[in-house]
Amino acid sequence: MPYAARLAAAMLAGLLAQPAVQAQDGQRPATGVPWNARVTYVVDGDSVWVQPLVGGKRQRLRIDGVDAPEICQTHGTESRQALQALALNQRVRVTVWAYDRYGRAIATVVRLQGDVDLGERMVEEGWAWTDGYGTRLGKYWRAEAQARWAGRGLFAERWPELPADFRNRHGPCGAAKPASGD
């Protein structure tokens, strides 16, 4: 075997072996290090719980690059069902990039069967927006443009309400509504 091929194989083996220690120690997974898990629960269209395949503590993940409708928002249930169909009980490769203010890991999640990037697929199918803001294009802007053009999923509506706008108007799902006259 040529030297370059042996070196590449050794580097790949090192990458695959290292995450087992990271995910198993009960601490937050390290950023930038891929590890394998099984999706055990789908919270909504952009959040899942996974169990590392090597054992250890379950992790809640927010899928990087997307924003899906709130579960109590129009299309929220359909978005969750779409992600359940794609990912529930499936083996995935997780790469954590950051942590949000709630302590959730922000991660790229790729289903091993078919090498499917869950964030990209949710946007392609029209069940989530890409994470663009202002003049910054989101990670999956092309997929969103195609879903909008085709009228897929929530983009069948002319102007579906963004989750941030929904939260600003109604608060988080499950929040008590003020009594009328307050």
Query: How does pLDDT run across 54-88, given as a tens digit for each residue?
Result: 988 999 999 999 999 999 999 999 999 999 999 99
pLDDT of residue 133: 79
Phi-psi region of 131 (alpha: psi -120 to 50; beta: other; left: phi over 0): alpha
Over residues 84-111, the pLDDT tens digits come to 999 999 999 999 999 988 888 999 999 9
Q: Reduced to 3 states, what is the DSSP secondary structure of residue 1?
A: coil
- Residues 67, 131 contacting (CB under 8 angstroms): yes
Q: What is the pLDDT of residues 24-38, one digit of tens each?
A: 445 788 899 999 999
Share above pLDDT 90 across residues of the chain, in percent, rounded to a whole number: 68
Instruction: Give the confidence band of 132 by pLDDT, cuts at 50, 70, 90.
Output: confident
Which CATH architecture best describes the domain 22-169?
Beta Barrel (2.40)
Q: What are the sequence ranges of the domains in the chain? A: 22-169
